[in-house]
């Protein structure tokens, strides 16, 4: 590299055309996965107060949302279910008549071509709000695996393209892969929430999914925010067990992890720009404290720059509209 004055970095910043030519990172609607909360009822859209622009939708309304997502050029959705009835073992999670299973079938029929991913977890379906079966006051790993396998299979039977276990039980990716293969679903992919931290940024999601733990917290299964090497071990395990895409979650406060995972494994990496990250930007924007659009783009570019191939984000529709100049 030459020194100043031979090298003047400002030459390449003089106008938008030249800035575009040298831009290193791209952001397109194609990079996004849009999360949708499906609940009971008909023609029902219940706004989530802490997440402006996001609602819990009945199946018919979720289909309409999917049509919009598809029209905006966003390739995929991820479905979260909020069942009418919860119990201690999350029965609705693996019922073929569950809200997510119904939504998968309806979206496949009405909006073919949209990739359907599903969140595989029990916390939205259990009355105690934990991500598995409770034994002696804690989530029991191995008996939870059986239920997660049933849930993933039931999503696959309904037509899901990708299942995404978000529970953080040990061994779940391997267990799910094995049973998908045994049941003829060898082409259903697994996107593992591989490095998922015990984060305060999930607060608004828990309002949306009605999944706040009724006692204790998730620190015995989700990762300690202080750890980074452990995230690489978690990712390595999930890859060995058969994960096709590995996810880091949350995104904004964990960009070092996104970067290291991409560098070390060279696998498709997803980053989850979670509910709290969305709500903070929306809230500050609404107060006039920050420029919401600008900060949204800055954060999403940062996540891509760190190495994420794809981003799960409640901003997906906003970004797509902005990129389409609408």
Q: Active-site residue among 86, 150, 196, 317?
A: 196
How many CA atoms within 13 Å lie on the side-chain side of 302?
A: 15
Q: How many CB atoms lie within 10 A of CB 253?
A: 15
Binding positions for ligand PBG, 116-155, rule CB under 6 A? 119, 121, 123, 131
Going from the C-alpha of 1 to that of each of 8, 23, 116, 163, 172, the distances in angstroms are 11, 19, 47, 47, 49
Q: What does the per-residue mask of binding to ligand PBG show for 159-198, with x meaning CB under 6 A? A: -------x--------------------------------
Read off the tokens for 96.
């073929």
Of 203 and 268, nearer to ligand PBG (C-beta) is 203
Cα–Cα distance, 96 to 265 (Å, whole number): 36
Quote the least distance from Cβ 75 to ligand PBG, whole Å.
19
Closest distance of CB 206 from ligand PBG, Å: 6
CB-nearer residue toward ligand PBG: 175 or 264: 175
String marking each residue 53-72 x if it binds ligand PBG according to CB under 6 A: --------------------
DSSP 184: T
- Contacts with ligand PBG: how many residues (CB under 6 A)? 10
126-155: b (≥16 Cβ within 10 Å) or e: bebbbbbbbeeeebebeebbebbbbbbbbb
From the candidates 86, 150, 249, 282, give the one annotated as an active-site residue: 249
From the CB of 148, what's the least distance to ligand PBG, in Å? 11
Minimum distance of ligand PBG from residue 217's CB (angstroms): 9
Give which of 57, 167, 188, 168 is closest to 115, Cα–Cα.
Answer: 188
- Is residue 249 among the annotated active site residues? yes
Please, which residue, 121 or 156, has the CB nearer to ligand PBG?
121
By CB under 6 A, is residue 202 in contact with ligand PBG?
Answer: yes
Least spacing, CB of residue 278 vs ligand PBG, in Å: 7
The yes-or-no answer on residue 17 being catalytic is no
Beta bridge partners of 311: 32, 271
Residue 119 CB, shortest distance to ligand PBG, in Å, is 5
C-beta of 5: minimal distance to ligand PBG in Å? 49
Residue placing its CB nearer to ligand PBG in the complex, 8 or 81:
81
What are the percentages of helix, strand and coil residues in the chain, rounded to 5? 45, 20, 35
In terms of Cα–Cα distance, which of 224, 296, 233, 223 is closest to 260?
233
Q: For residue 28, what are its two tokens?
A: 């397109």
| Residue 221 contacts ligand PBG per CB under 6 A | no
Q: Is 205 in the site for ligand PBG (CB under 6 A)?
A: yes
Q: Which is nearer to ligand PBG, 47 or 184 (CB)?
A: 47
Report the alpha-carbon distance of residue 58 to residue 61 in Å, rounded.
Answer: 5
Angle subtended at Cα 305 by Cα 160 and Cα 231, rounded to the nearest 5 degrees: 65
Cα atoms in the 13 Å half-sphere on the side-chain side of 9 = 2
For ligand PBG, which is the closer residue by CB, 185 or 314? 314
Q: Which is nearer to ligand PBG, 79 or 106 (CB)?
A: 79
CA atoms within 13 A of residue 155's CA, in its CB half-sphere: 29
Catalog residues that contact ligand PBG under the rule CB under 6 A: 119, 121, 123, 131, 166, 202, 205-206, 274-275
Q: Could you give the residue numbers annotated as active site?
A: 196, 249
């Amino acid at each position: 590299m030459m020194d100043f004055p031979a090298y003047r970095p400002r030459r390449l910043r003089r106008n938008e055309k030249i800035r575009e030519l040298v831009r290193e990172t791209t952001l397109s609607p194609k990079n996004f996965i849009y999360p949708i909360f499906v609940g009971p009822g008909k023609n029902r859209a219940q706004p989530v107060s802490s997440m402006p622009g996001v609602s819990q939708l009945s199946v018919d309304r979720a289909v309409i949302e999917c049509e919009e997502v598809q029209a905006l050029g966003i390739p995929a959705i991820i479905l979260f279910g909020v069942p009418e009835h919860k119990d201690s073992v999350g029965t609705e999670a693996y019922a073929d008549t569950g809200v997510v299973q119904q939504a998968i079938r309806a979206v496949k029929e009405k909006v073919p071509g949209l990739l359907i991913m599903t969140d595989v977890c029990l916390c939205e379906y259990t009355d105690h709000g934990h991500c598995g079966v409770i034994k002696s006051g804690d989530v029991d790993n191995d008996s939870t695996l059986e239920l997660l396998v049933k849930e993933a299979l039931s999503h696959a039977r309904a037509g899901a393209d990708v299942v995404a276990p978000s529970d953080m039980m040990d061994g779940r990716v391997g267990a799910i892969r094995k049973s998908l293969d045994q049941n003829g679903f060898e082409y259903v992919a697994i996107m593992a929430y591989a490095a998922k931290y015990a984060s305060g940024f999930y607060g608004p999601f828990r309002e949306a999914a009605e999944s706040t733990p009724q006692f204790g917290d998730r620190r015995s299964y989700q990762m300690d925010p202080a750890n980074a090497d452990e995230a690489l071990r978690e990712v390595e395990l999930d890859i060995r067990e058969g994960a096709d895409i590995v996810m880091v979650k949350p995104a904004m406060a964990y960009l070092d992890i996104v970067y290291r995972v991409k560098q070390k494994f060279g696998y498709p990496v997803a980053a989850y720009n979670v509910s709290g990250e969305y709500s903070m930007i929306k809230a500050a924007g609404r107060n006039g404290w920050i420029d919401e659009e600008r900060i949204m783009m800055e954060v999403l570019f940062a996540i891509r720059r760190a190495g994420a191939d794809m981003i799960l984000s409640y901003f997906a529709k906003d970004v797509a509209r902005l990129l389409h100049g609408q």
